[in-house]
Structure 1
Amino acid sequence: MLATHAQRGPWRPYLDRLLTCALGAPAAASLCTDFVIFDGGAAKQFLADRGHLLRADERELLRGWLTMPLDVYECAPAGAAR
């Protein structure tokens, strides 16, 4: 539901732009979506607008996720030594 909300809401232009930059890296698509959901505010807006559609435990889980800082991902080409 969160991903659909981000893909259809006012965040769509930002998500499209991020996905365009990630062309050729299919694994990056989920990172772009996560960025829009959590750092871009889609999850917070979803909770305010549609939180009632979630079970109580799901609402609490999402509230908990929103208190966590966005972490940095390390991106490396497939098969690259670390």
Structure 2
Amino acid sequence: MSASTLDHLADKLAEDTLAAMDKTGEERLYTEVGEALGASSQSLEEAFLTAVRIRLAERNARRFLQRRLAELSASGKPGA
């Protein structure tokens, strides 16, 4: 399997899993999916977990940025 196919499958599964997590509130669902993947493909498991972690990190960074911009705006600092 080519790396691009592996990454594509992992990315799609990560997107679907995060959507399911948002819908159900199951914050650790991705670990269960990762375990199921690991039973048959360690390579896909690693790519999937990386894709999930990247997306979760980006979400956290965006929340931080939104909070920080709101704080700056509320404080009346120039350029906020």
TM-score normalized with structure 2 length: 0.33
TM-score normalized with structure 1 length: 0.32
Instruction: Answer with 1 or 2: which has the greater Rg.
Output: 2
Q: Counting helix residues as a fraction of each chain, which structure ranks higher?
A: 2
